[in-house]
Structures are given as C-alpha cells and as structure tokens.
Amino acid sequence: MSVTRQDQWDEVRAEAAHCRRCPLWKPATQTVFGEGPVTAAMMLVGEQPGDQEDEAGHPFVGPAGQVLDRALAAAGIARDAVYVTNAVKHFKFEPRGRRRIHAKPNAGEIQACRWWLDQERALIRPPLIVAMGATAARSVLGRAVTIAGTRGHAHPLDDGGECWVTIHPSYLLRIRDKADAQAEHDRFVADLAQARERLPR
C-alpha cells in the first residue's frame, strides 16, 4: 500500500503535537498545526496562534481569522482551497489577570519552529506563499524584513515557488480610525488578489 501525501502530512502533524523544540509548548494548550488541502496551490502563513486558536486547536478561527475570511472572499479566494498555517505553532502570551495577551515570538522561537513550516512546504509544495506579517515573512524568506520594503512584488524561493508579503489581518483590528481601517483592508484585499493572479492556470 503506497503512502500518500495526506498520510505523510498526518504523520508530521501528529509529530508536531508533541513538539519540544522551544519552551513555548509549556504554557500553551496545544500545538496548532496548519490546515487545508495538501494539494493547495496557495499557502497562507501567519505569525502564531492566538488565544482562541490555542483553545480550539485550529488556525485563524478568532477575530483575525474572521478578518482574513472576509478579505479572502473579497479577493475571490476560497478559504477551503488554501492551506493556512503559522510561522510559530504555539501561542506565546503574557498572563494579565484572567486574560492571555499576545507576545511576539523572538528570533530563536521563529527559527526553532521553522522546521515545521519547512515540513509543510515540502509536503504541500505550494507554488505561491502569502506571508502575512513580518514574523511570517522572516520565517518564509529566512531573514528579517519589513512589510514596507517587501510588499507588492514577488520574492523567488529556493524551491521554485514565490512569496508575497502583506500585513497580518490582526493589524486591521488595531486601527481605530474607520477610514484608515477601510483603506488598509482594501489594500490587504488587493494584495491577496494580486497574489491570486500569480497562481498557475
């Protein structure tokens, strides 16, 4: 009986559930691995799971995930057709009373978890990756970058694919001015649509 790509993905996901490559597993509820078709042509990479993702065990199911879903729909991309994951698979947070406040992963944590993202990329072999936020871009491109300096054009990858860099959808939740928020949302949708146009026909 031959081993399918799905079988291989299932095996890697099960292995990741017991990851101890960095200390973030200790306070987190669980590993939040990527989800989506193993044949997906587009991979979306975010920073890390949030509070709701940590509880549910699924990526992008909280407020940022709802923003992402709306943006994907506006860009003409079906969420169930893309593979969605994060650069870091455990929720890093600071306790504040009963709340758990997001804390940015450091370079060591990003590097430790890059091993899992590399496994996902090797299995899925997406011709196009959208890195959402600077942490995701650093993990995919292998170097620290800025959104402003990398947004809006393709970055060739060693495996023959290409990466497009945009903001993380959580950024839109932090913009208080409605007009500014709408403008940034529209630009985010445009980034996704531009990436979609690069997909193989």
Tens of pLDDT along 55-89? 999 999 999 999 999 999 999 999 999 999 999 99
SS3 95: strand
* Domain boundary assignment for the chain: 20-196
Bridging pattern class, strands 42-46 and 83-86: parallel
Predicted local distance difference test score (pLDDT) of residue 200: 83
CA distance 163 to 129: 5
Enumerate the β-bridge partners of residue 199: none
Number of Cβ within a 10 Å radius of residue 8: 14
CA distance 48 to 82: 17
- Which tokens go with 17? 């559930």
**Strand order from edge to edge, sheet including 155-156:** 83-86, 42-46, 128-132, 162-166, 155-156
- Beta-carbon contacts of 133 under 8 Å, excluding residues fewer than 6 positions away, are 46, 47, 147, 167, 168, 170, 171
pLDDT tens digit string along 103-149?
Answer: 999 999 999 999 999 999 999 999 999 999 999 999 999 999 999 99
Single pTM value for the model: 0.96
SS3 84: strand
Is the CB of residue 75 less than 8 Å from the CB of residue 187?
A: no
20-196: CATH class:
alpha beta
Provide the Cα torsion 185, 32, 140, 170; round to 10°.
20
Predicted local distance difference test score (pLDDT) of residue 1: 67
Is the CB of residue 143 less than 8 Å from the CB of residue 149?
A: no
> Taking 90 as the threshold, does the pLDDT of residue 35 lie above it?
yes
**Nearest of 50, 54, 39, 42 to residue 9 by alpha carbon:** 39
Bridging pattern class, strands 155-156 and 83-86: unpaired
Sole residue written with tokens 């990436």: 195
**DSSP 8-class letter at 35:** B
What percent of the chain lies above the pLDDT cut of 70? 100
